[in-house]
Every structure is written in structure tokens, then in C-alpha cells.
Amino acid sequence: MAIALVILAAGKGTRMNSDLPKVLHRLGAAPLIAHAMSSGQGLEPEEVIIVAGHGADQVRAAVGKINPDARVVLQEEQLGTAHAVLQALPELEGFEGRVIVLYGDTPFIRTETLENMIDSPADVVVLGFEAADPGRYGRLVAHGTALEKIVEFKDATDEEAEITLCNSGVICAEAATLRELLPVIDNDNAAEEFYLTDLVEIARANGMAAEVVTCHESETLGINSRKELAQAEAAFQARMRAEAIENGVTLTAPETVFFALDTYLGADCVVGPNVVFGPAVTVETGAEIMAFCHLEGCHISRGATVGPFARLRPGAELAEDVHVGNFVEIKNAILDEGVKVGHLTYIGDADIGEHTNIGAGTITCNYDGVMKHRTTIGKRAFIGSDTMLVAPVSVGNDAMTGSGSVITQDVPDEALALGRAKQVVKQGLATKLFEMLRAQKARKANS
């Protein structure tokens, strides 16, 4: 069955007190809208349409990074949810299949829940939930799973307000049904808005069937304020930690580990306390991430160890059995099998061959103030402590640099490179300098 997603993302989010569009606030190191897109992407949709309004250019740029095939349309005036979906229909011209309407600020709806909606034979399917505190949610007037109508809280009678089955806002219907019925919806209600929820009554009046599919209330959490965003972050992290443990990952202090939406950890990984996973991190089976590491945009292979206190930045690729130790930063660099970078080192824009050892204090000097340059180190090389490798430069297989060297020229295979200034010793000069400096300090104190 062909599926299309329409994700509503036009709201400003006034309660966020922010110039940033609400759907671009981050949850699990990803924009809120990325979560909604991820849930829907599990359905393998043919079309993804985002309806933007406030900050449309920013939303368009963010969506393009998440899914370049998604299209963004503009809702210039926010006249209600039905009006928003109407803006998407021209982009679905010729599409014949089911359309699911999602919300960019509702991040937790599971793909399995959306599949349940698709499997329903009804013409219009609404996602509902039993609310612990119905509050101002719209109420679902239903008999079993058969849905009679949706009533907005502000338009509900006293009897309807007692209903605890509430509306999530998510709707599924055939594209042809939306084309036929959306233009019929009017704004004759307390808010003078065109409600997508009116689709149910109109469908039933036209002899169509409407049904409610339910999910747990936690899936329907919408984000409208910073407080709710913080609550959602806590819920997201708790879920990710539980899933990681269930999948065979050891978290020695789970409550201190933070995940991104797309973090992948293989079975038998070990993650120490206070580790932060930014976007686009993959850690293969059996690797270990020690305490106080920050990782993003990197790939860590089997048997590798990272940390403690290490930072892996985008483009860091660690092959099997690589060791990256404490206070080491790796950026846009490929470390082949068995490479060891033990401590106090920066490796940026580099290729390092297998079983090479990088001494403490080594820096690849990759930036000349205008452009980045690459360092290449061969297999089984030994880079002495406090070596400055001024890129572009290469060090050959089985080569060595002396400690404290500044390497500005290529080093051939099996060669030793020394780049130190000549040491000069002046007998007795240290004592004289100290006496002079102490005298200067005393004069300043007495002046």
C-alpha cells in the first residue's frame, strides 16, 4: 500500500519563548521534527510533505538535512489543522494511497502504532489514548472502536467533557478522501479555525466509516514549552537507556549516559559513566567507551577502546582494536587496526596506518589559518611524544620521529626524523636570572 506523510510544523511555539521554530528545538540531539519524520519513515512512505509557517526557511533547511526528498510547503496564515493539510494536497496530486497526518512537535509516536492505523479498514482512522488527566484534550465520542465524532474541549458539552478517550491529532485517510472532504470543513467553532477533527463527522455524514486506534498516552506527548521539552528529554533518555540494556549493552551508570536519536550501539559494548553520544555515532560489538567521553559523527569498530576523557568529532573512524586514551581528540581522521593514541593528543585530518603508536602530546597541525591540510602516517610508525606534524606531511611505514620534533617535511619508510633546535647550556646563568627577577619584584613591591 502506498503511504504519504504530511507533517504539520507551522506553529511558532509562543510558550517556548524562542526565535527558533518550535519543531527545531532539540530532543536527543535532533530537531523535534526529526523524531516525527523518523517514526513515519519506518512506513517507507512514497511522499513526505512538511507544512511549515513560522521560520519556514529554517525548517526547510533542517528538513533538507534529515531527508533531502521531503518537500516543504508554506502555510502563510495559521488557520487551523485542516487548512494546514489543504496546503499539502497540491503536492500529493496523482498520489493514490493512504495519508498519515503527524505533528512536528509530537516526537514519541511509534512506527508500530502508525502501522496499526494503516491496517484499519476504516475510511478515516484517528489515533486516541486514555488520558490520566483529560484536561483540554479533544474528546473522542466512540462506541467500541467505531468513532462517532471528535469534540474540541472548548466546544464540548458537560457530558462530553467527562470522556477520558482523547484525541492525539494523528489521522489516517485515503488521499482521495482528503481531497473530497477537506474543502467541506468550515470554521464555525469557538476558535474560528478549520479543524481537521471535523473530518470524522463529515466522513460519517457521507456514509464512510471512522475508527479509533489507541496507543499509550506517553506516545502522544506534545511539546509546547521548555518544561515539556525537558520532560520529553528525560523520557527519551530513559527509553534509549532501557533499549540499549535490553539489546545487550552494558551501561555501568545508565542515568549518566546520554543518547542521540540515531545512536547505534552493538551488543556487548561497554559504556562507562558520564558519556555523551551526539548525532551519528555507531559503536560496533565489543567496543568500550570509558567515562567522561563525548562522541559525535564517528564510527568505532569491534574491540576498540575510547577514553576516559576522550572526544571524537565528526569524521573520526576507528578500526578494530584501536585505542584512544585520555584527553585525546580525533577529528576527520581514519585510524587503522591496532593504532594506539594514548593521551594528550590532537589528531585532525589524518590517515594513520595499522599498529602505529602516537606518543603523548602529538599534534597534527592541520590548519594554516585559511585551509585544512592532511597528515598521512604509515603502518607500524612510532611518533615520539610532543611531535608537531605540520601538514601537509607524510610519515612512512616503520618510520619514527624523535620526541619534541617539529616535522615539516615528508619522512621516508624506516627513517628517523629529528626536528629539534640545538640545545645550548649556559653555566650559572639560571642563578643570575633568578636573582635579577627577584630584585625586580622587590623594587615593584616597595614602589
Where in the sequence numbering do the catalytic residues fall?
A: 343
Alpha helices in 182-266 (DSSP H): 199-205, 226-246
Cα–Cα distance, 2 to 91 (Å, whole number): 15
Per the document, the length of the chain is: 447
Q: Which amino acid is present at 2?
A: A
Alpha-carbon torsion, ordered 396, 340, 241, 296, to 10 deg: -40
Q: Give the Å distances, CA to CA, from 131 to 214, 225, 248.
A: 11, 20, 33
Q: Backbone phi, then psi, for 290, in 5-degree steps? A: -85, 180
Angle at 372 between CA 367 and CA 374, to 5 degrees: 100
Strands 363-365 and 357-358: unpaired
Integer Cα distance of 200 and 147 in angstroms: 8
Cβ neighbors of 159 (< 8 A, separation 6 or more) are none
Label the pairing between strands 276-277 and 3-9.
unpaired
